[in-house]
Structure 1
């Protein structure tokens, strides 16, 4: 059975979303976001490159910004930035019995503390698609943009990435 938990606050409207795998990112210079790269197989690297090349110019109303390295496995939108990283490892604290939120057909794993504290950044990881994609969502966007952003990303994740682990 799939959990239908919302990642943002409950608004009474059913928003569906999907996401892409992101890595931990830090800002490097004004307007540029740094994306950490992980060791990937040739097939995973090709899938990530195709996904990143197809990502939109805007996400949840925010404009795409520069990332470093140029051509890296991710993208960023806004300031503070939503940051998507493709090819991240499975989270250390993930257990096969963990619940995830299914948004627009993609299952996102979020730690319980991130679900309950909307004042903190959230880093949902799309475990039902592989290679895994993580999206760092700044606390500024938790009340309005998180579900919208993940929903906008879902069709691209489904198009470019393989099936991952199932969600409970």
Structure 2
């Protein structure tokens, strides 16, 4: 399970680096289950058109569980599995009411935890993660109790 998650996360990161080529950004959508399905669909309707100066872009395949800004410089996936590297004793910072787990092995990957669904956000290094995560807090709080 951990290998499959790491492989998928690596795949997403590689796609984000190649995203500057134009066209839709290829990102594998997650498959949420249970209450996460409705919560992620609600989140999709609340996400901003622009984020940290980047305009929303198309993803391929089109999915209500994926959002992309700046041709993949910022990507969100809702309904992902719990981060395998996260332990119960980890200190998790909270920004504007949303707890974010920062993966120590991948400094551009953040996961909103403690909600109806896990929300994974990958942020390219030229962006300030705190700005992006704060801007995503209100839609996440509204859609995912």
TM-score, normalization by structure 2? 0.80
Q: Quick one: higher RCO (CA 8 Å, sep 6+), 1 or 2?
A: 1
Q: Which runs of 5+ in 2 are unaligned?
A: 1-7
Task: Tell me if the contact between 1:73 and 1:87 (Cα under 8 Å) persists in the aligned partners.
Answer: yes
- Equivalent position SS for 2:126: helix
In the comparison of the two structures, how many residue pairs are matched? 131
Cross-structure match for 1:71 = 63
Tell me which of 65, 83, 90 is aligned to 2:82. 90
Q: Does 2:143 correspond to 1:160?
A: yes
Q: CA RMSD in A?
A: 2.0
> CA 1:38/1:80 → structure 2, altered by over 3 Å: closer, same or farther?
closer
Q: Which runs of 5+ in 1 are unaligned?
A: 1-22, 116-121, 163-168
Summarize deviations over 1:135-156 as a string: whole Å, max 9, x none: 0011121xxx211111111011
Q: How far apart are the structure 2 equivalents of 1:84 and 1:66? A: 12
Runs of 4+ in 1 over 4 A off after TM superposition: none
Larger helix fraction of residues: 2
TM-score, normalization by structure 1? 0.70
